[in-house]
Structure 1
Amino acid sequence: MSGDSMSDAVAAAVRVVRESGLPNRTDAMFTTIEGEWDECMAVVKGACDAVGQYGARVSLVLKADIRPGRSGELDGKVDRVEAKLREL
């Protein structure tokens, strides 16, 4: 990979996430996905494999919020905080 930029590798990983069809959001530091455990882990593996094509090392930070029976929380959590902020 040329220079210090990781944007090509990051873009490859984000492409895997977006093509998965799972609800997702990418910001400056993280890409968040929502779904069942096995489908999310398959997307994580695919994203790591995509990044691995750019070098011999892949670094991964993974945080899980496991709440059986819940969905739509990618937006739901933010909506609840925004509602609280409007109350202030």
Structure 2
Amino acid sequence: MLVAFSVAPAVATSADGSVSDAVAAAIRVVRASGLPNRTDSMFTTIEGEWDEVMAVVKEAVEVVAAVSPRVSLVLKADIRPGFTGQLSAKVERIEQALAD
């Protein structure tokens, strides 16, 4: 499965309203998981089996919750049993369709 998620403090703790330190801590959790992942300006997408992906999302939420009394989580999942490598393959198929 692919899970695209965004997690951030709902209450900024810095004077300028930035949440980047907490978001970086969450992304560190994802990268340390060893699961295939990609981060862009809006979401981090992670690929793996249901239980392992959701465990990583939970841990990412927990590190953000450690610095904020309220956490915002947006999550979207593509559940397609029997398929792996879709983090890149889905993008490659679209790029191929655009090139045709």
Q: Same fold (TM over 0.5)?
A: yes
TM-score w.r.t. length of structure 2: 0.85
Point out the structure with the larger strand share.
Answer: 2
- Three-state SS of the structure 1 residue aligned to 2:81 is coil
Q: How many residues align?
A: 87
**Identical pairs, percent:** 68
1:12 aligns with 2:53: no
Q: Distance in 2 between matches of 1:17 and 1:83?
A: 29
Provide the alpha-carbon RMSD of the alignment: 0.6
- Matched AA of 2:79: I
TM-score w.r.t. length of structure 1: 0.96
Gaps of 5+ in 2: 1-12
Match of residue 2 from structure 1: 14
1:53: Cα distance to partner?
1.3
Greater relative CO, 1 or 2 (CA 8 Å, sep 6+): 2
Q: What CA deviation, in whole Å up to 9, does each residue of 1:26-82 have, x standing for no partner?
A: 000000000000000100010000111111011101111100000000000000000
- Three-state SS of the structure 2 residue aligned to 1:10 is helix
Point out the structure with the larger helix share.
Answer: 1
